[in-house]
Amino acid sequence: MQKILEIKDLKKTFYIKKTPFTAVDGVSFDLIRGECLGLVGESGCGKSTMAKIITRLIEPDEGSILVDGTETLNLKGKDLKKLYQKVQMVFQTPQDSFDPRHTLGDGIMESMRNLGISRKMARERAYELLKLVELEPFFASRYPHEVSGGQCQRAAIARALATEPELIICDEATSALDVTVQAQIIELLKRLQKENGLSLLLICHDLALVQNFCTRVLVMYRGKIVEEGIPDDVIRNPQNEYTRVLVDSVF
């Protein structure tokens, strides 16, 4: 089984008024190519910090991140751009992830234009991507505030697919949506994963969602991975006390 992502001994400490707070504390895990891995835990446990470190939005203090066997923490310039082609992220609040001054189409086209693709070809590809996420082409001319949360998140997924990535990280990608739209987005991700062979890291606090969608789950608590396994097994027979509390709160 080939690993698309390898995290080794990752650590990140922030200082709040000179007081240290370790958000990620020696985390290690692998993600197998083509699988959907869930990362669950309460707010503030370090999940989103992990996502931002993997995508190089923030830098870790220690550790190693390998994408497709290549260490990413020493990448800069063009090499870092190549990483972003392989790894994309879908954020919690889609409206905030788009520039409000630009249309959704411009947002989807941006990464393609940065790779040197002509505006005409990028526009045509943006229309194809919108269709792929079940949005009509006219959404390309809409601004983020002119569409619903679910429509904006579909556009965000289209933007993530623009570079033909191998791994997509969904950081609470459905938590800001109502239940019906959540189900639609999850079904969309399932379909895209199957059709495109995507690897997914699904970060959320919803164990029920992970149970229905993910092949494996990691439970994070106070910056550490405290349990991992097949979702059904973890839910039915949790080994860690925090996992038991998390299961009881949901089921």
**pLDDT in the model for residue 184:** 84
What is residue 147's predicted lDDT score, i.e. its pLDDT? 94
The whole-model pTM stands at 0.91
pLDDT at 194: 86
Average pLDDT over residues 213-224: 94
Query: What type of residue is 85?
Result: Q
User: Residue 123: how many CB atoms within 10 A of its CB?
Assistant: 18
- Cβ distance 242 to 234 under 8 Å? no
Domain ranges of the chain: 3-250
pLDDT surpassing 80 at residue 250: no
What pLDDT, on a 0 to 100 scale, did the predictor assign at position 6? 96
Whether pLDDT at 177 is above 90: no
Angle between helices 119-132 and 149-161 (to 10 degrees): 130
**In the prediction, which pLDDT does 40 show?**
94
Across the range 73-83, mean pLDDT stands at 85
pLDDT on residue 11: 96
Report the pLDDT value the prediction gives residue 35, as an integer from 0 to 100. Answer: 93
pLDDT in tens, 5-43: 999 999 999 998 889 999 999 999 999 999 999 999 988
CATH superfamily, with its number, for domain 3-250: P-loop containing nucleotide triphosphate hydrolases (3.40.50.300)
**Per-residue confidence at 157, pLDDT binned at 50, 70, 90?**
very high
- 239 pLDDT band, cuts 50/70/90, is very high
